[in-house]
Every structure is written in C-alpha cells, then in structure tokens.
C-alpha cells in the first residue's frame, strides 16, 4: 500500500491555480525530493497532506485515510518538520522532546529521550541547554527526534536544509536516510540540488501545478541536475 497517494489534486487560491491535477505516490522507505521555484506549490502540497488545506478536486490519501475527511487520523501517521521548528524557549531540548511526545500520547523515559536526541545528532551537552540557545540545525534535530519517537510513517520536510551549514546539512541528510532505511516515507520540498543527489531516491519538479518525475538523481551530478531542472521550467 502507498503511504501517500495524491490523485488528480487541484487547488486554486482565488483565480490563481496552485495545483492543477497533481499526482504523487510514495511507498515506505522512499525519499522523494520535490523541487520547484518559489510559488510552485510545494508548501501547498504539504498543507494538503496535513489537512490544513482542502483540495478543490482530487484525493489526498495517507496510509489509506482521506486527509481531507479525517485529517486528525491521517496526521497520526505524519511527522512534519517546518522550515523553522518551534520549541519552548526556556525548556531544554530533552524537555521539549518529552513534552511534545507526551502530547502525542507517548511515554518516554529520560534515557530513551536522550537516546533519540543523540541519534538525531544533538550532543548530550546541548540536550540539557534551554532551546533558546539553539541554532536552526539544532532545533531541527529535536524535530527529527520527535518524529522518530512517534514512529511516523510519513515524514514531511519543508526546505529542511536551507540556512544550514554544510556539515549540519550533511548530518541532517544522514539522519533522514536512517529514518527512510527504517521504513519511513519522506517527502522533502527543497531547493538544495546538492543534497538531493545524495539523499533522494526520486526527484520530481513541480511545474504548472503538476509533478514531472523524469530525473534519476543517481545518474546525474548536481550540475546536470540543475540543467534538467532549468529545462523543465522553460517548457
């Protein structure tokens, strides 16, 4: 069964058509990179999957659940990491993780919580510091640890590596790859052609409200990837 199945999804904002018959399917363990210029509809696609927006036409299915009809049930299978992960500033990373997982109905002891944060790449020293002292990359690591604790089947990432330094970005890729290897399906909206090459199993370009998927990231270097991306947008 597909973890995510979007079928003929159309979404307009007033007279502006954001999505125009988008089809997108994802299975367990796949990393899909969604490329597209500013305003192409990447965030709109994510908001439809989360049930924050409803499609005008078409179906968004998450693990067999219609995301428009039963958004809460669908969201139980989803972990979402926005560009800026919001944490409680005065609480430590560890306490943030325990707080958010408790809200999700999980009981994690301190040892397991710390283990998850370590796996996400947050040092022990940082885990005990107030989150207000965290960089963007560190906040994302807490976001990833929360996602892993919830064993979400679908991980949604909106421009996860923008603003990260190269080593933080590489570490982020490693953690996402590990999640995929454990069976999580990953949808990543991104402008980061360099990361796609090493991380994505599949690449689609969102253009004119649809996904064109004819790029094999494994077969290309990032210069060739950029060239194809540009060609796609000029059609």
Ligand X SMILES: Nc1ncnc2c1ncn2[C@@H]1O[C@H](COP(=O)(O)OP(=O)(O)OP(=O)(O)O)[C@@H](O)[C@H]1O
Residues contributing to the site for Mg ion (CB under 5 A): 42-43
Please choose which of ligand X, Mg ion, none residue 168 contacts, taking the beta carbon within 5 to 8 angstroms, the exact cut-off set by kind.
none
Smallest gap from residue 195 Cβ to Mg ion (A): 16
- Are the CB atoms for 105 and 62 separated by under 8 Å? no
Distances (CA, A) of 56 to 10, 18, 44, 47, 193: 6, 11, 12, 13, 31
Whole-angstrom distance, CA of residue 200 vs CA of residue 9: 23
**Residue 84 is a binding residue for ligand X (CB under 6 A):** no
* Pairing relationship of beta strands 31-35 and 185-189 according to DSSP bridges: parallel
* Secondary structure of residue 2 in the 3-state scheme: coil
Binding mask 4-33 for ligand X (x = CB under 6 A): ---------x--x-x---------------
Smallest gap from residue 46 Cβ to ligand X (A): 8
Whole-angstrom distance, CA of residue 96 vs CA of residue 225: 38
Whole-angstrom distance, CA of residue 137 vs CA of residue 33: 19
Please choose which of ligand X, Mg ion, none residue 77 contacts, taking the beta carbon within 5 to 8 angstroms, the exact cut-off set by kind.
none
**Residue 36 is a binding residue for ligand X (CB under 6 A):** yes
Return the number of the residue (99 or 194) whose C-beta is nearest ligand X: 194
DSSP state of 21: E
Please choose which of ligand X, Mg ion, none residue 27 contacts, taking the beta carbon within 5 to 8 angstroms, the exact cut-off set by kind.
none
Cα 114–chain centre separation: 23
Please choose which of ligand X, Mg ion, none residue 167 contacts, taking the beta carbon within 5 to 8 angstroms, the exact cut-off set by kind.
none
Return the number of the residue (16 or 223) whose C-beta is nearest ligand X: 16
Helices 93-103 & 110-119 angle (0-180, nearest 10): 110
Radius of gyration of the chain (CA): 18
Smallest gap from residue 68 Cβ to ligand X (A): 16
Smallest gap from residue 210 Cβ to ligand X (A): 13
Q: How many CB atoms lie within 10 A of CB 110?
A: 12
Smallest gap from residue 37 Cβ to Mg ion (A): 10
Smallest gap from residue 36 Cβ to ligand X (A): 5
**Contacts (CB under 6 A) with ligand X, residues 37-56:** 38-44
**Residue 183 is a binding residue for ligand X (CB under 6 A):** no
Give the helix/strand (H/E) hosting 80.
strand 78-81
> Which residues make up the interface to ligand X (CB under 6 A)?
13, 16, 18, 36, 38-44
């Amino acid at each position: 069964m597909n973890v995510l199945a979007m079928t003929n999804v159309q979404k307009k904002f007033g007279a502006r058509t954001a999505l125009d018959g988008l089809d997108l399917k994802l299975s367990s363990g796949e990393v899909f990179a969604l490329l597209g210029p500013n305003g192409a509809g990447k965030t709109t696609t994510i908001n439809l999957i989360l049930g924050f927006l409803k499609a005008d036409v078409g179906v968004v299915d998450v693990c067999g659940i219609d995301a428009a009809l039963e958004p809460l049930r669908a969201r139980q299978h989803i972990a979402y990491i926005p560009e800026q992960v919001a944490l409680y500033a005065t609480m430590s990373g560890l306490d943030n993780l325990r707080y958010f997982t408790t809200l999700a109905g999980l009981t994690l002891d301190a040892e397991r919580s710390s283990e998850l944060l370590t796996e996400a790449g947050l040092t022990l020293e940082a885990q005990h510091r107030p989150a207000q002292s965290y960089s963007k990359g560190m906040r994302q690591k807490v976001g990833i640890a929360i996602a892993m604790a919830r064993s979400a089947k679908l991980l949604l990432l909106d421009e996860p590596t923008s603003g990260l330094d190269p080593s933080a970005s590489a570490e982020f890729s490693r953690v996402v790859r590990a999640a995929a290897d454990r069976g999580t399906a990953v949808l990543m909206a991104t402008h980061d052609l360099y990361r796609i090459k090493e991380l994505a199993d599949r690449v689609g370009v969102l253009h004119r409200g649809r996904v064109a998927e004819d790029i094999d990231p494994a077969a290309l270097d990032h210069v060739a990837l950029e060239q194809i991306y540009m060609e796609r947008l000029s059609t």
